Amino acid sequence: MPTAAQPLHTPILQMRGISKRFGAVQALENVNLEVYAGEVVGLVGDNGAGKSTLIKCISGIYQIDDGQIHFEGKPVTMHGPKDAAQLGIRTVYQDLALCDNLDVVGNLFLGREQTHRYLPRVAEPLDETEMEKRAITILGDLSVTLPSVRALIASLSGGQRQSVAIARAVMWNSKLVILDEPTAALGVAQTRQVLELIKRLRSQGLPVIVISHNLADVFEVADRIVVLRLGRNNGNFERKNTTSEQIVAAITGAEFGVEVAA
């Protein structure tokens, strides 16, 4: 393996020799990716480098053509997003998938509503008190600042929405969270809010993969930066010993800077 120092224990997620082809297009070729507990991995690359394809392979939307995926040390095959969800892999896509017309509690529990259990399933009333209590606890643990858990999503800022989406991704016994461009289209203060939230996830031991075009953001939160270029690995950098010039070089394939290995 390349330059990056490896923690001693086994990785939560280990992908080896992943290949994915769409017709004549080789989207991924022999890609490796490892994620350890309590680690934030920045996944960077130019447009078309294969970041999104790789993420969709992890979250079960695409099936890989070649290679192996190990999750918590065990080999896994994913046939759909449900398999990934079952393993505890949650992805927050750029569109966030929140319902603007529901409040924060409604969105956190969407599809997993808690109910009173004294009536037949179809007529079970929602247990709003319990859901609100849990929502306050979860958002409090993550130090997410909101006007109220009963505020409609439509009334929240972009950063607050992103925070709600991330909170929903981590609250259901998640083991790995993937964030697709979490700071795109956010202002300075809101970006800060989301980056702080990512750091908090790490401090709780939850591994996070962050895809971003913004190297400053990646440098702030990531422990390790994995570069993809034209569907192949093009570097695996320990953030502490790396400059952004090196990353830019790896992304663009320029020759200056430190030699990188796949």
Partner 1 sequence: MSTIINEPRVLPEHSTGFWRDLRRRISITDLGALPVILGLIVIAIVFQIANPNFLSPLNLTNLMLQIAAVGTISVGVVLVLLLGEVDLSVGVVSGLSAAVMAVLNVKSGVPGPIAVVCGLGVGCLIGLIQGTWIAKFRVPSFIVTLAGLLGWQGALLYVLGNTGTVNLRDPFILGIAGTFFPALIGWGIAILFAVLYALFALLERRRRLSAGLAASSRNAIIFRIVLVAVVLFGAMAVLNANRGLPSALVFFIGAILVFDWITRRTVFGRHIYAVGGNAEAARRASINVDGVRIAVFGLASMLAAFGGILAASRLLAVNQSSGSGDLLLNAIAAAVIGGTSLFGGRGTVWSALLGALVIGSISNGMDLLALASPIKFMITGAVLLFAVTVDALARRRREAAGR
- Asked if 213 touches partner 1 (CB under 8 A), the answer is no
Q: Which residues pair with 218 in a beta bridge?
A: none
The full length of the chain comes to 262
Distance separating alpha carbons of residues 24 and 7, to the nearest angstrom = 38
DSSP string, 127-154: -HHHHHHHHHHHHHHTT---S-TTSBGG
Closer to partner 1 at the Cβ: 16 or 112? Answer: 112
- Asked if 110 touches partner 1 (CB under 8 A), the answer is yes
Q: Do residues 240 and 249 make contact, with C-beta atoms less than 8 angstroms apart?
A: no
- Asked if 144 touches partner 1 (CB under 8 A), the answer is yes
Question: Can you point out the beta strands (E) in 142-242?
Answer: 176-180, 208-211, 224-229, 232-238
Token pair, residue 152, equals 């409609």
Closer to partner 1 at the Cβ: 138 or 248? Answer: 138
Select the span of 12-20, 38-46, 135-143, 235-243 touching partner 1 (CB under 8 A).
135-143
| Chain position carrying tokens 């006007």 | 147
| Cα dihedral sign, 213-110-169-135 | positive
| Sole binder of partner 1 in the list 1, 24, 122, 188 (CB under 8 A) | 122
Closer to partner 1 at the Cβ: 97 or 254? Answer: 97
- Asked if 148 touches partner 1 (CB under 8 A), the answer is yes
**What is the distance in angstroms between the CA of the first residue and the CA of the last residue of the chain?**
8
| Sole binder of partner 1 in the list 27, 40, 139, 201 (CB under 8 A) | 139
Closer to partner 1 at the Cβ: 48 or 81? Answer: 81
What are φ and ψ of residue 147, in 5° steps? Answer: -60, -40
Least CB distance to partner 1 at residue 15 (A): 23
Of residues 38 through 97, those in contact with partner 1 by CB under 8 A are: 81-82, 95-97
Question: Exposed, middle or buried, 199 (CB in 10 Å: 0-12/13-18/19+)?
Answer: middle
Closer to partner 1 at the Cβ: 177 or 228? Answer: 177
Print burial letters for 99-129: b (CB count within 10 Å at least 16), e (below 16).
eeeebbbbbbbeeeeeeeeeeeeeeeeebbe
Select the span of 2-10, 29-37, 44-52, 149-157 touching partner 1 (CB under 8 A).
149-157
| Sole binder of partner 1 in the list 6, 129, 243, 244 (CB under 8 A) | 129
Least CB distance to partner 1 at residue 241 (A): 21
- Asked if 199 touches partner 1 (CB under 8 A), the answer is yes
Binding-site ranges for partner 1 (CB under 8 A): 81-82, 95-102, 106, 110-113, 115, 122-126, 129-130, 132-133, 135-136, 139-141, 143-149, 152, 154-155, 192-193, 196, 199-200, 203
